[in-house]
Structure formats: C-alpha cells, structure tokens
Structure 1
Amino acid sequence: MTTKAYGAYAADTPLEPIEIERRAPGADDVAIAILYCGVCHSDLHQVRSEWGGTIYPCVPGHEIVGRVTAVGASVSKVAVGDIVGVGCMVDSCRHCAACDEGLEQYCENGFVGTYNGPTPDAPGHTLGGYSQAIVVKDAFVLKVGHDARQLAAVAPLLCAGITTWSPLRHWNVGPGKKVGIVGIGGLGHMGVKLAHAMGAHVVAFTTSEGKRQDALALGADEVVVSKNPDEMAQHANTFDFILDTVAASHDLDAFTALLKRDGTLTLVGVPEHAHPSPDVSALIFKRRSIAGSLIGGIAETQEMLDFCAKHGIVAEIEMIRMAEIDTAYERMQRSDVKYRFVIDIATIAD
C-alpha cells in the first residue's frame, strides 16, 4: 500500500514529503496507523549520513505510537483498534544466543533497525516512523497501556525510555541505591524519572545551573553542577551507579571518582570523538567499572512500558508539525528542546 511520509533523498537535502510503499500484512504482521513519532538525535545522524552507510531515500523515526488497523492470521497478542508502539528494532535473527535470551538489541547477526535496515520489501531497506503507516512483525510490536491523552508523550519511551531503563534494571537500581544521572536532556530526563520511580536516591548532574530546578521537578533528590569541583568533591566515593547519557566527548574520571568500591559508570551516549582515556588507577584501586548499554530487548521494553503506565511516567515533550522537522533538527543540535520533540503524524496530510 502507498502511504505518505517525510524523508530525504540525500544527506545535504531537507526532508520533504514523499510517498512510500508498505507491504501487505503477512500471517505474523501487524499494520499500524501511526499517530505520533518521537524525534531522536539518531534520526538526524542517519538522515544526514553522519554515521555513514545511509541508504536513500531515508525515512527516519523509531519512537512510534499508533493504532492497529490489520493483523495477520497468526497474530494473537494484539487486535485491530489496539494502541501499540514500535521502537528501534523491527526484526532480528531470532536464533542466536542473544535473541534466545530476549536480548535482540545484541543480536549476533545484527538486529534490523526500524529505518535503514535490510529488508526484502521495496526499496530494500526499512523506512521509519515519519510516515502515516507501518507494517511490523508481531514479535516486535509493543502494547501501550497509557491513557489516550498521554500517547504523544509515550512515543519517546520507545527509545529514550528503554535506553535508560535497560541499564537501570541491569545494574539493579532501586531502594537503598544512590544513583547519578549525567546530562538532563532527552535521555537524561527519562533516567531521572525512572530511577526516582524505582526508589533510588537520585542525583542529577548538569553543566548548567539553569537546569537545577528542572532536574528537581523531574524527581532528582539532589542536583550537582558538574563544572563546580566543590560540589563534585562532596560526593566522592558515594555512588552505587552512575548513568552517563552525554553524547559529547568528556572527562570520565570526574565521575568514576564518585563511585563507591564496585560501583559502575555506564555510558549510553556515543560521542563524535572518543572520550579522553580514563585513569585506570581509579578503576583498579576501587574495583570500579566503566560499562556501556544499548537500548533494550522486546520483553524488557514491554516491562518498561508497563512500569511507566502504572506509575504515570511519560516524556516531557514539545509537539511539532511534520513540516517543522528541519527546524526541529536545528534546535535539537543546539539542545533547544525540553526534552523531546514529537511529531503529530496527522499533519503529514497537510
């Protein structure tokens, strides 16, 4: 079927209205009318070919919330009319050790991204959520239990939410744990909300004094301006876990020094240039760790959505019209958004 979308034909051209084809639903497929799609920095990197390997036309978007319009004969977990989500993956090999453990994001044969991933469907690569409709294997469709009035703000949970939830769960964040969240942006603001709801004592780190009150409002128990050495020193050797969401190159030693013995600093932001090499003595003498984490598997993403629905957690968003996407990209590069843009997909028709 033909559907309207927004995409780019080259790295140096603006996004524009295009028409794309979606496959007819097969036995294990779910057809979805997209209502909202969040705007992730990955969208910008991919469509501008900043990571290389972009296949055009490129239709970004992997924070999708929509309504089921058709299901294949083998589909039982969702029905026509259900509100569902689609995140960063639409398939994986499903038979490697990682997939068998429900860790499709670490698929040993490479997961299929919601856009720019290989697919037998025309045009040979996946096209994302900046479109009116999508067809996805039922194994990669997620149920959304939030109130209908929250659906736009649910969309960023499909990337920003799970990217922060997965490491918080893996490193057992909860009551009695002191947890730091570095960076109060699209990812970091979700990290603060989730860690707070999980019962941890949450300390938000920001380079901007102006974000202090914002971070407290999001659920932080304390806020540290990381450029202030006195504020940082007060927290030396006290953290069980620190989640670093900053995607710019920076000094990791300032944060490893804040960890207790056996504490972990986990990175979820990929910088354009490598971080300065960390001081290994700070790791060796306290058995500290620096780790990384990538989104989450489908079961874990469903767990996160259910937790957020139960606790009334959504992203802080600014709604935009589809035609405003290039302006949104420019603002996103300046960090001029609190804290995630979401596209009202109905405006594609305009």
Structure 2
Amino acid sequence: MIWAAVEASRATGEKDVSFKVLYCGICHSDLHMLKNDWGTSTYPLIPGHEIVGVVTEIGSKVENFKVGDKVGVGCMVGSCHSCDNCADNLENYCPKMILTYGAKDLDGTTTYGGYSDIMVADEHFIVRIPDNLPLDVGAPLLCAGITVYSPLKYYGLDKPGMHVGVVGLGGLGHVAVKFAKAMGVKVTVISTSPNKKKEAIEHLGR
C-alpha cells in the first residue's frame, strides 16, 4: 500500500492529453482503496483523483487543449463513447468506464492516479483550469467540488433567494456552503458540533 511518484502507465494516444501533475488532493475514498475496504483494490496502487497540472503533450486529434494549458482530471479518464449513457453525457454509468486509478486502461495496463508524475487521459475527461484559479486550491474541486455542485444544479437549488440546508460542515459541507453562497442562495448549516457555528459564521459568512 506504499506508493511513489511514477510515470504515466501508457503512451499519449491521438485523443489524449498528457500533463505534468503539480497538485493532487486526498479524498477519503483514496484511503478506502489503499486499505482495500471495498474489496476491489489491486496492487500496486497509485491513488489520487483530484488532479491538476500543466499540459506537456497532446494527441494528434486533440481539439480543445494545447501544451502549457492548466488542466485537471477527476475520477474518470475514459469510457466507450458509444453506449446510450455516453450519448446522454452520463459516462459515469458507462459499463466500460475507466476510473482514474486501479482500473484497466484501453491498452490493458493499470491506470495510476494523481500521485504519479504524469497523467494521461482522453481529452473528453480533461477540464481546463481558469488562469485566475490557483492550482493548489483548484484540485479539490475535481471531486469534493463537483460532488456538491452537481446536486445543487441538478435539483435546481442554485436560484438566488432560495434557502438550502447543508448537513455537516466538513470537507464537502464547507464547499457546498461556498458554492451556494456564490449562487445567491440563503444557507443554513445543520451540525451537531457547536464549534462549527463559529467556523461557519466567521470563515464562511452568514
């Protein structure tokens, strides 16, 4: 269960983006995978799926990125692109979805996560990081961020003046509060920890 910085597990394909990893967050699911808590881990295992860096190479058919771009990748690096789920932009339900680490890649090699030196992924699963967003604080948005942003948008809880309750002010909760506030939503934090009241008011605002 020990990992070290390694090179990417495969060459850059024609639709792939390769980037030098500069920062990678730690998600609790990484710890579950390291300890094989879910019974699906294979070793050696290189975790990390909140990954940001700078593009070093692009495939011949890549259209949306260039060398030098600041980019990131989350928990997926590939899918079949041909099933109904992929056609509906629901690649996370694709039966051939390729996870960022601990999965079989297109060439049969094992995927390595963000504690690698270099990441390679299909450009469809690469996101551009805005120039005004520091990479170190942008990395957690690739998992924790999208985990709370997606339901706020999906369930229409992003309208100014709406009132949303956030249960817990941990890693996900504080990001949910910040997103909701940025959307103009009134936020109530629900917590059983009295010390979180001061944190919510003084650090995240009313």
Structure 1-normalised TM-score? Answer: 0.56
Counterpart CA distance in 2 for 1:18 and 1:142 is 23
For 2:143, the equivalent position in structure 1 comes to 159
For 1:35, the equivalent position in structure 2 comes to 22
Look up the equivalent residue of 2:154 and give its one-letter code: H
For 2:110, the equivalent position in structure 1 comes to 125
Match among 110, 114, 131 for residue 100 of structure 2: 114
Cα–Cα, structure 1 residues 220 and 121, in superposed 2: closer, same or farther, change >3 Å?
farther
Give CA-to-partner distance per residue, 1:315-342, whole Å, 9 cap, x none.
Answer: xxxxxxxxxxxxxxxxxxxxxxxxxxxx
Match among 45, 53, 59 for residue 72 of structure 1: 59
3-state DSSP of counterpart to 2:171? coil
Q: CA RMSD in A?
A: 1.7
Q: Which runs of 5+ in 1 are unaligned?
A: 1-7, 9-14, 222-350
Task: Please show how residues 226-305 of structure 1 align to structure 2 within 5 Å.
Answer: none
Q: Quick check: 1:101 aligned with 2:88? A: yes
Q: Quick check: 1:200 aligned with 2:185? A: yes
Cα–Cα, structure 1 residues 52 and 177, in superposed 2: closer, same or farther, change >3 Å?
same
3-state DSSP of counterpart to 1:154? helix
- Is contact 2:3-2:46 (8 Å) kept? no
For 2:73, the equivalent position in structure 1 comes to 86
The structure whose residues are more often strand, as a share, is 1
1:146: how far off? 4.1
1:111: how far off? 2.2
For 2:155, the equivalent position in structure 1 comes to 171
Counterpart CA distance in 1 for 2:97 and 2:190 is 32
- Is contact 1:55-1:125 (8 Å) kept? no
1:66: how far off? 0.4
Relative contact order, higher structure (CA 8 A, sep 6+): 2
Structure 1, 167-176 or 97-106: larger mean CA deviation: 97-106
Cα–Cα, structure 1 residues 156 and 62, in superposed 2: closer, same or farther, change >3 Å?
same
Structure 2-normalised TM-score? Answer: 0.93
Give CA-to-partner distance per residue, 1:178-222, whole Å, 9 cap, x none.
Answer: 10111111111111100111111101112211111211245453x
Look up the equivalent residue of 1:26 and give its one-letter code: G
Task: Please show how residues 2-81 of structure 1 align to structure 2 within 5 Å.
Answer: 8=1, 15-17=2-4, 19-81=6-68
For 2:169, the equivalent position in structure 1 comes to 184
Cα–Cα, structure 1 residues 159 and 21, in superposed 2: closer, same or farther, change >3 Å?
closer
Q: Which has the larger radius of gyration?
A: 1
Deviant stretches of 4+, over 3 Å: 18-21, 217-221
- Is contact 1:202-1:220 (8 Å) kept? no
Counterpart CA distance in 2 for 1:84 and 1:93 is 22
Counterpart CA distance in 1 for 2:55 and 2:28 is 27
Q: Which runs of 5+ in 2 are unaligned?
A: none
Counterpart CA distance in 1 for 2:80 and 2:177 is 33
Counterpart CA distance in 2 for 1:218 and 1:172 is 26
Give CA-to-partner distance per residue, 1:92-139, whole Å, 9 cap, x none.
Answer: 2222232212122232x15211011221446x3211001111111111
Q: Quick check: 1:211 aligned with 2:196? A: yes
- Is contact 2:5-2:116 (8 Å) kept? no
Give CA-to-partner distance per residue, 1:55-97, whole Å, 9 cap, x none.
Answer: 1100000000000001011012010000001011101222223
Look up the equivalent residue of 2:165 and give its one-letter code: G
Look up the equivalent residue of 2:50 and give its one-letter code: E
Cα–Cα, structure 1 residues 203 and 71, in superposed 2: closer, same or farther, change >3 Å?
same
For 1:333, the equivalent position in structure 2 comes to none
Counterpart CA distance in 1 for 2:171 and 2:56 is 30
Tell me the percent identity.
Answer: 45
